[in-house]
Structure formats: C-alpha cells, structure tokens
Amino acid sequence: MTSPNHHCKSIRATALVALILAAVPIPGCAPKSEIPPPPPVPVTIAQPLQSDVTRYLEETGTTVAVAKVEVRARVSGVLEEVKFEPGVEVEAGDVLYVIQQSEYIAIRDAAQASVDAANVVLETAKIEYDRQLRLQKDNATSDVEVVAAKAAQDGALASLDAAKARLDQAQLNLDYTEVKAPISGRVGKTLVDKGNLVGNGEATHLTTIISYDPIYANFNISERDLLSLRDSERSNERREEQRPQKTFWLQRDNDTGFPFQGSFNYADLAVDNSTGNYLVRGIFPNADRKLVPGLFVRIRSPIETIKDALLVPDWAVFADQAGKYVLVANPDNVVERRDVRLGIKADDMQVISEGLTISDRVIIDGGQRARPGREVTPTETTLPPLEQNNADQTTPDQSPDSAGPESRDGSNADGNVADAIGTNGAPTPMTEDGSAAAPDASDASDASDTSDTSDSPDESAEEANNATAAPDVAPDDGASAAS
C-alpha cells in the first residue's frame, strides 16, 4: 500500500511536467510575421524616337587599281640605264630604261641609205619614162620600150616604199630602246639590273606601274539583294533623267564610319551561277593615296528610307524563347512586357516595326531588375535625334563628281540591272522589316543612373555595376539581350 508521502511526490511531479509543457510553445501555433513587399525599382524611361531611317546595302569588298601595267622590253639588247627610283610617281611618256642603241642606230642609218638609193633609182626611171613618151610622139620608139620604161618607174616607186617601211621599222626599234612609261602612276622596283641582256627571245618584264587615282572597289551582292533592288527600282516611277548618280561609301579596317565617298561604276552582266553572287564596282577618288589596291574594305550604299520609324536603344531590347520584347512602364508605373518585331539597326538604335507606339514609356536603363507586374520608380529622359553622319565624313578632295559614272574605257552597266544598282535615285519608302545595315547615328545620351535600395551588400554592389554598364541583361531567367 502506497504511503501518503509517495503519493504527494507523484502529484508534484505531474504538476511540474504540466507546467513545463505549458511553457514550451507548440509548433504551428505561433503568430505569422508578414514579409513587406519589395520597394519600387528605380529605372530610366523614354518614349521611342520617331525618325526617318535610311536602309543601307553594306558588303565586304576589295580595292583594285584602275590601271596596272607590266613594263616589258620590246627589243633585245643590253640594259644600259635605269632612269627611275623605285616607288616614285611617273608620268606617261617618262623614260624608265635605255637599252643599248648602237646596233639599232646602225640599222636605222642603213635603212636611210636604202631610201636614198631608191630615190635615185626612181628619179632615173622617171627620166627614162618621160624620154620614151617624147619619142613615142615622134614615132621614134616602140610601144614595148614605153611600157618597159613605165614598169621600171613603177618598180622603182615600189622599191622606195619598201625602203621607207624598213626605215620606219628601224626607227621604231630604235625608239623602243628607250622604254617609256605607258601610263601615269607609281612605279615599282626594277626587276632587271643594269648590264643584263633583255628581250632575247621574249619580252622581258622590267617593272610594273599602278595607277592609284581613282581606284576601284569590287564587291558582290547576293541574288536576293539583287532581286530586292530590282523590285525597288520597278516601284520607283521616276524618269531616267531624274535619277541622281548612286553614291557609295567606303570604310577601311581602322576607320570609324565610312569616310571615303565614291560612286557607282559598273555592274556585271549576269549572276555567277557557281556562287549566286553579282559583281558590282564602285570608283573612288584617291588623290591623297590613302587607298591602295588589295585592301579589304566595307562598302555601303543607301537603298531606301523608312519613314517615321520608331527606335529604341538596342540594349533596351531583350530576347527569350518567346521572341524579342521590351519593357514599358504603364501609367501606374507598373512594368509591362511588349512583344515586338525588329527592323533594321541604326548604329546603337534599333528600329521597332511592330508592338510599340510613340506614347509608350520604354525602360532603357534598370531593366535588369524590372519584372512584369512589379512597380518601378521612373526617371524620364529624351532620346537624342539621329544624325546622318556620312555626308560629313568625306575626306578632303574626295567629291563624288571627281569619280564619274564611267570607267576609263568608257564602260558602264546597261539595262534594268544597272538601273537597279547604279542609277537608283533618292531613297524611297519601304516596309520596316529590312535586314540590311543602317546609317551611323549619334550615340544615345547617358541615362541618369540610379541604384535600387537593397537589404544586402551584394545587391547594392550589383546595382552599382549595372548603373555603369551600357546594355542591361535580360530580366527573365534564361533570357539574353537582343543583338
């Protein structure tokens, strides 16, 4: 039987356990603490820029000399003089080499003596023929003698002509001993030194002359571009005489922009079946010799103009699996996604063909933290206007008029193909889905940089870095900035 003391201890132990359990909170019964919503993200917004944008055809090509001549010996002999320094500019007719002349002077003198002898024979024959004619009137000679005298005179005249031809050939060979520059240009190094025998059984190559001013630039366009150009030309109803000369712009590897201005010169007769390309040639003035043959260059030419196009900075355009899009702030400053269709690019500006209006407020900075449906704190700015820079980038003495539409041999393209390539006039309106390069434009002004408040140092550092970067990363996971 349990004692009263033991029973009291059991009651006290039970009460202590109950007290302890009452002091321990039961999981799931504590009151919930609410997480405050994130603060609005600071962004920079701007309305799309509305401007006319020129569509350009831009291709890679090579520069080619208008004239390149191999200077060769036309007579044989020992090379006596080299009368030029390699690399200098020479004019057509300048003497470059002198081949030994003594042999050719002797041949010329002998030919001259033959001419003199033939003249004596001819004079004798004329005197005899005249005498025979007088005797014939007096019936003092036969007809046979008259005919013989006439034949002797004609034979002497023919012999004189042959002697004169030999003299001309001898003089021509003597003139060939002075090797002259056939064209004006820059002469290369001599390939044969003084004292060597040249022209012995072959026309020895002595040096090369290249003409630098003007200079050609050849490039190929695709069959698709050619057909597009022809379609554009057919849609242009202007008369032939109203079409100005087609302008080309050229850029070297180290150039900013396209500083060299030229014009259309030639278009090929047909598309190359093996490559599907079509050859086009421009001509560029080159008085300062800044262009040399063999350069790889970029060539652009205005094709058409997109009227009242809407443009945004290209870093404001993002891409994901659903396509291209931009982020806009609605009147309540809430972010919305706008799927867009892109047109051509104008330097760092992107033409938006569909999906955007002039009144939309596009997020151009801070979009890396903006999400559709999230509130933002916008700072408004204005996009600067586009500038057509090509006309201001012409180097001195490079006027389109100095390189006319015809080549030196007077050749030019003809027919509808040449009309489409070379005589297309001022740009005409087109749809906004072109894919060619666009004109140079002035850089967009820097948007005011703002950084989002963040609860962690890492987020603050990320915002500081983004504020100095030009393009924003795509806001959604897996998205990338559109190029």
DSSP secondary structure, 246-296, as one string: PEEEEE-TT-SS--EEEEEEEE-SS--TTT-EEEEEEEE--TT----TT-E
Q: Is the pTM of this model over 0.75?
A: no
- Using the Cα atoms of residue 261, residue 250, residue 445 and residue 364 in order, give the sign of their dihedral: positive
The answer to whether 360 and 328 have CB atoms below 8 angstroms apart is yes
The answer to whether 183 and 209 have CB atoms below 8 angstroms apart is yes
Helix, strand, coil % in the chain, rounded to nearest 5: 30, 30, 40
Q: How far apart are CA 102 and CA 110, in angstroms?
A: 12
74-100+178-203 topology per CATH: OB fold (Dihydrolipoamide Acetyltransferase, E2P) (2.40.50)
104-176 topology per CATH: Helix Hairpins (1.10.287)
Q: pLDDT by residue for the chain (483 residues), tens digit each?
A: 455 555 555 666 666 656 565 555 555 555 556 777 778 889 999 999 988 888 888 889 999 999 999 999 999 999 999 999 999 999 999 999 999 999 999 999 999 999 999 999 999 999 988 988 888 888 888 888 889 989 999 999 999 999 999 999 999 999 999 999 999 999 999 999 999 999 888 899 999 999 998 999 999 988 888 887 776 655 555 444 444 467 899 999 888 889 999 988 888 888 888 888 889 999 999 988 899 999 999 998 887 788 888 999 988 999 988 899 999 999 988 999 999 999 888 878 889 988 889 999 999 888 888 888 888 888 999 888 877 544 444 444 444 444 443 444 434 434 444 444 444 333 333 334 433 333 343 333 333 333 343 333 344 334 433 433 333 333 444 343 333
Q: Where are the domains of the chain?
A: 49-63+220-481, 74-100+178-203, 104-176
Q: How far apart are CA 354 and CA 336, in angstroms?
A: 16
Q: Which two tokens stand for residue 184?
A: 């004006």
Q: Could you tell me which residues come within 8 angstroms of residue 224 by beta carbon, excluding any fewer than 6 positions away?
A: none
Q: Of the candidates 456, 135, 420, 458, which has an alpha carbon nearest to the alpha carbon of residue 264?
A: 420
Q: Could you tell me which residues come within 8 angstroms of residue 146 by beta carbon, excluding any fewer than 6 positions away?
A: 129, 132, 133, 136
Q: Which two tokens stand for residue 211?
A: 């003409």
What is the Cα Rg of the chain in Å?
A: 44
If you ran DSSP here, which 8-state letter would residue 392 be given?
A: G
